[in-house]
Homo-oligomer: A and B are copies of this chain.
Amino acid sequence: MRKDPPALKPRKLPVQARSATTVEALHAATIQVLTQQGLARCTTTRIAARAGASVGSLYQYYPNRDALLAAVLARKLSGVSAAVDLACRAQQGQPIAQMAVALTRAFLAAKLHNPDESKALYAVAAQRGGAALIAQAQASMVVSIATMLASAADVHVANPAVTAEVALNTLVGSVRALLEGLMSPEVAATLETQLGALLTAYFQTHAVARAAASALARE
């Protein structure tokens, strides 16, 4: 008999205390192995060994290797999403230039806080199932950013969702280049400034000054 469609969801919820410990250890171990050995060498055996557990335990909590990797990726993505969302909420009603800078800063901080981990997870994201998680995180961030943009004090952004998405892709592109070692030191050194300026310029392109907008509306 064949297996059902291979779930990527965790297999069961830990009910005993030590379960939580094991799951946590597996998460940490996965990131370590991923970081130090790469995705190809990130085997269930190695993860379990690093976690001080047995393969059996790993499979008690995850139906397969991909599910574990997906869980680790999902957690990381949630963290980034949350950080971006937090920053966006804090900028509600501010001028658009400040928003651009704050968004850039928050995103870079979240992604670069643990660069090795972020880099290692790119490989995971490329796996089956990774795209969906990324998509979800991106969507969440687009909403946060769009909401923020719509509240800008000084300008009226014509199409916040589209603008937010393009902006996010831009940030992602640069961060990826940085993490993968493709970025020159000159750019890396001034990345935040560069991206802040870039986004500011971009946002203003797609925006109309509030005053003008109001005037238009009044006519």
Contact = CB atoms under 8 A, between A and B. Distances in A.
A30 B146 CA distance: 41
A210 interface: no
A1 interface: yes
A174 B195 CA distance: 15
A187 interface: yes
Contact of A181 (B131, B166, B170): B131
Nearest to A203: B201
Interface stretch (A20-28, A73-81, A121-129): A121-129
A10 interface: no
Nearest to A167: B198
Given A38-B1, A180-B131, A162 B186 contact: yes
A182 interface: yes
Contact of A174 (B2, B169, B200): B169
A112 interface: no
B166 A194 contact: yes
A24 to B, nearest CB: 24
A41 B126 CA distance: 14
Contacts of A206: 197
Given A1-B38, A38-B128, A174 B183 contact: no
A41 B182 contact: no
A205 interface: yes
